Amino acid sequence: MNIDRIQFLTVPVSDLTEARDFYLGKLGFDLLVDVSGPHGPFVMVGPKGADTGLVLVDRAVGGLDHDTRVHFQLTTTDVDADIAELRAQGVEVGDAEEMPWGRVTSLKDPDGNAMGLLEASGYGNWPR
């Protein structure tokens, strides 16, 4: 496998502004990303200098499967090779999709926890 780090964990929140203020103001996290994405606002926060962030997702906006316990994203240096290896091991994994931030696929663990697998472009290579 070519997986090299956990990029982010998704945290569903009831009030995006309140959650952002908590992580930035109370915990002293940095704002790593704040853009409009295909599923609504994409806000990533993280401790200073951390290699992994938290994506705060407004439950009311949706876009992600909030029935899963956790959603996280891993980065890889070769998404196609990893898809082939996962499929060879009997894991259901989608085809890679081209996105502005890189090539990404998704899969679930045996408990139904969702994860993304990203071969990042320059835009999606945060917070490195």
Domains in the chain, number: 1
Residue 52 sits in a domain whose CATH number is: 3.10.180.10
H/E segment holding residue 33: strand 30-37
Tell me whether residue 128 is in a domain.
Answer: no
Distance CA 105, CA 15 (A): 28
Tell me whether residue 127 is in a domain.
Answer: no
Q: Could you give the C-alpha distances from 100 to 17, 58, 111, in angstroms and in order?
A: 25, 22, 30
Tell me whether residue 76 is in a domain.
Answer: yes
Q: Give me the tens of pLDDT residue by residue for the chain, a chain 128 residues long.
A: 888 888 898 888 878 898 899 889 988 899 999 998 777 888 999 888 888 898 988 876 655 555 545 678 888 899 999 999 999 988 999 999 999 889 999 988 876 778 899 998 876 455 44
Distance CA 94, CA 68 (A): 17
Tell me whether residue 93 is in a domain.
Answer: yes
pTM exceeds 0.75, yes or no: no
- Residue position matching structure tokens 């103001």: 25
Owning domain of residue 95: 3-120
